[in-house]
Amino acid sequence: MFRFLMVMTISSTIGLQAWMMLFNNFAVEQVHLSGEQVGMIQSVREIPGFLTFVAVFVMMVIREHRLSAISIVTLGAGLALTGFFPSYAGLMATTVVMSFGFHYYETTNQSLTLQYFDKYQSPMVFGRLRSIAAASSIGIGIFVFLISHFLSFRSTYLTIGGLIAAAGLWAFTRNPVDKNIISQHKKMIFRKKYWLFYFLTFMAGARRQIFMAFAVLLLVRKFEFSVQEVTALFVINNVINYFLSPMVGKCIVRFGERKILSLEYLSLIFIFLAYAVVDSKLLVSFLYILDHIFFNFAIAIRTYFQKVGDPKDIAPSMAVGFTINHIAAVFLPALGGILWMVDYRIPFLAGAGMSIISLIAVQKIRVPAAT
């Protein structure tokens, strides 16, 4: 199962990173979108994430690892088609296709990891997969950096998307299932005792959207980063995370989820405030790198659930959790895009406020550190 998840994670990471590296420049330089339109596309991109609860019903007829493979094929297809539709409506449509593939894979990835690895192993496995994802991001970052000098946006999207779809087709030849694994509930699960997991998941989704929708837009709009400079930042981020991610998993096991998440949210308060006032290109690059590093700490929300949840609830709860994670994502980028037009600092100040709320909430975690 680890080998299967590794290949699928590499494919998923390459697809998302390529999309993120190219999107803002493609939207601004080729499609000539406004900040409000970019925000709207970012919101629509999260609708498939909001609909991941449907995966529970899909898994009644399709096994979870098969759904992973289908999702990767869909991701690749959406990415490959992007360059052929350089319009507001076209970019929105291909983004939705790509997003369905990415979000449904991420749901099954989290679920399969928590099912196949125990509470001592899962933080390590999540960390290793994050490290592998970082290495994949480095590779695709270098690849995009080099080919962007020679290929058009259309050719770049088509090349990368085609390779990802091929990996998804390969996955159909694999059968990594262990018949001894506890069977999962084939229905929606929503329990009162999981309220803190739901809340932290919701807030993490809101925070993530501010980073994904507006941090890169800040780099491109205010500081006029080129596609090569944005790509270089992605590579730097992932060189750091290649070494850091396994350490995060070890720290979760040693110190526990509450301390790890507290460090994340405390740091994010200052990072978001700094985004709103910084005028230095070098400093905003440093903030972007720090912001990206703290994404790794979100592993602790899922490992917290593994420690307090029923093993049979993992698959449906990860699907429900992904939906909750994307409730804010459906409207926040569009709302943030409108507020951006008033003052670009408002989305970042909102991020600082959400980080304060998350820091308070995470103190409710009472799971002791693993020993």
pLDDT digits (tens, 9 = 90+) for 237-284: 878 888 888 888 888 888 888 999 999 999 999 999 999 888 888 898
pLDDT digits (tens, 9 = 90+) for 313-332: 777 787 788 788 777 766 77
CA distance 45 to 103: 10
Tell me the average pLDDT across 129-152.
84
Contact (Cβ atoms closer than 8 angstroms) between residue 330 and residue 47: yes
pLDDT at 371: 42
CA distance 11 to 184: 26
pLDDT at 147: 83
Neighbour-count burial of 282, counting CB atoms closer than 10 A to its CB (0-12 exposed, 13-18 middle, 19+ buried): exposed
Asked if the model's pLDDT at residue 368 lies above 60, the reply is: no
pTM of the model as a whole: 0.76
pLDDT at 73: 94
Q: What percent of the chain has pLDDT over 70?
A: 95
pLDDT digits (tens, 9 = 90+) for 58-111: 777 777 788 889 999 999 999 999 988 888 889 999 999 999 999 889 888 888
CA distances from 234 to 24, 105, 291, 334 (A): 14, 22, 12, 24
CA distance 39 to 366: 37
Ordered by where they begin, the domains of the chain are 2-173+189-362 (1.20.1250.20)
Closest CA to 289 of 137, 129, 122, 95: 137
Q: What percent of the chain has pLDDT over 90?
A: 22
Asked if the model's pLDDT at residue 26 lies above 80, the reply is: yes
Query: Which pLDDT band, with edges at 50, 70 and 90, does 187 fall under?
Result: low
pLDDT at 180: 67
pLDDT digits (tens, 9 = 90+) for 60-73: 777 778 888 999 99
Query: Which pLDDT band, with edges at 50, 70 and 90, does 370 fall under?
Result: very low
Tell me the average pLDDT across 114-131.
84
